Amino acid sequence: MYDYDLLVVGSANADLVIDVERRPAAGETVLGGDLAVHPGGKGANQAVAAARLDARTALLARVGDDGHGRLLLDSLRAAGVDTAGVLVGGAPTGVALITVDPEGDNSIVVSPGANSRLTPADVRAAARLLHTARVVSAQLEIPLETVAEVVRNLAPGSRFVLNPSPPRELPAEVLAACDPLIVNEHEARVILGDARVSGEPADWVRLLLAQGPRSVVVTLGAEGALVCDGRGVTRVPSVRVGAVDTTGAGDAFTAALAWRLGAGAGLAEAAAHAARVGAAAVTRRGAQESYPTAQEVEALCGAVPDATGRAAGGAPAAGERGGSR
């Protein structure tokens, strides 16, 4: 019996967001709108997204003993995330500087701050959390050696989900635990090397699988996602909506996928759920504030598709976009 459907190990950032007409090029200064401060960070985002969907969720993370840390703890608790594993102090809370253009696309620079002080020893000290979670997810805004320690301390029978963002080369022991490894095109390029990400996306999926993960999901934005658990590559369609802000949509996708996998869904079915949650998330501003409840997903996207996506509601319309790149 598990206490948690999902334990997220990862980052928590204050997102400092400015709307811009155009994201600046190198050497350029642009004027934007008023500054908005939102709770974010890929780990905290995943935790809040899962809790909104009613998953019993805990977060292992580190924030600073400061106003940004309190903003994050408030957001996590309001969503129902168990924050007993959120450590406080050691450095200022992580900060993400984000510009969002009128199409809803963003550019992000992260100062990891306290995230970089989440250590392998912190993971070992959280053994109880790790051993009472059905699914454990991580990202890479915390040290890679901390993620490796998570993998070494997984309980038998639990499932590990990794979104390697921001991407870097992964050690074999981390890759071998991923079920699935979830990447977008940019992340696939870093893991495989640019030269190998040239053919069809289905080829990238097979190349990624050959690196050692048990299963792979490649998100392709408006093109949907490709999933593979070793028995052939399946395409999952995107859900088209009007995008306002794509920040954190990938985190919502990962959280929903992990939650559905833990509930017993197959990979394609879980990815179809996740595509709907990611799509709903881009229709509102911010990361955590944009995450939908299961009822909101159903209202926006219609009935859940079958494993092939054939019964999907929310028909595509011109100028609309999927939300899980």
> What residue is closest to ligand RIB based on CB?
40
Tokens of residue 300, six digits:
């926006």
C-beta closer to ligand RIB: residue 110 or 297: 110
Q: Please tell me whether 65 is known to bind a ligand.
A: no
Q: Please tell me whether 157 is known to bind a ligand.
A: no
Q: Please tell me whether 43 is known to bind a ligand.
A: yes
C-beta closer to ligand RIB: residue 45 or 215: 45
- For the CB of residue 323, give the shortest distance to ligand RIB in the complex, in Å: 12
Distance CA 269, CA 234 (A): 10
Q: Please tell me whether 223 is known to bind a ligand.
A: yes
- For the CB of residue 83, give the shortest distance to ligand RIB in the complex, in Å: 17
Catalytic residue (choose from 19, 34, 251, 306): 251
Active site (annotated) includes residue 229: no
- For the CB of residue 202, give the shortest distance to ligand RIB in the complex, in Å: 26
Residues that bind ligand RIB in the complex, under the rule CB under 6 A: 11, 13, 15, 40-42, 45, 96, 108, 110, 141, 247-248, 250-251, 287
Convert the chain into a string of H (helix), E (strand) and C (coil): CCCEEEEEECCCEEEEEEEECCCCCCCCCCCECCCEEEEECHHHHHHHHHHHCCCCEEEEEEECCCHHHHHHHHHHHHHCCECCCEEECCCCCEEEEEEECCCCCEEEEEECHHHHHCCHHHHHHCHHHHHCEEEEEECCCCCHHHHHHHHHCCCCCCEEEECCCCCCCCCHHHHHHEEEEEECHHHHHHHHCHHHCCCCHHHHHHHHHHCCCCCEEEECHHHCEEEECCCCEEEECCCCECCCCCCCHHHHHHHHHHHHHHCCCCHHHHHHHHHHHHHHHCCCCCCHHHCCCHHHHHHHHCCCCCCCCCCCCCCCCCCCECCCC
C-beta closer to ligand RIB: residue 41 or 309: 41
Distance CA 195, CA 186 (A): 13
Q: Please tell me whether 41 is known to bind a ligand.
A: yes
C-beta closer to ligand RIB: residue 109 or 303: 109
- For the CB of residue 115, give the shortest distance to ligand RIB in the complex, in Å: 9
C-beta closer to ligand RIB: residue 183 or 268: 183
Q: Please tell me whether 184 is known to bind a ligand.
A: yes
- For the CB of residue 157, give the shortest distance to ligand RIB in the complex, in Å: 29
Feature table: binding site: 13-15, 41-45, 141, 184, 219-224, 245, 247, 250-251, 281, 284, 286, 290
Q: List residues with catalytic annotation.
A: 251
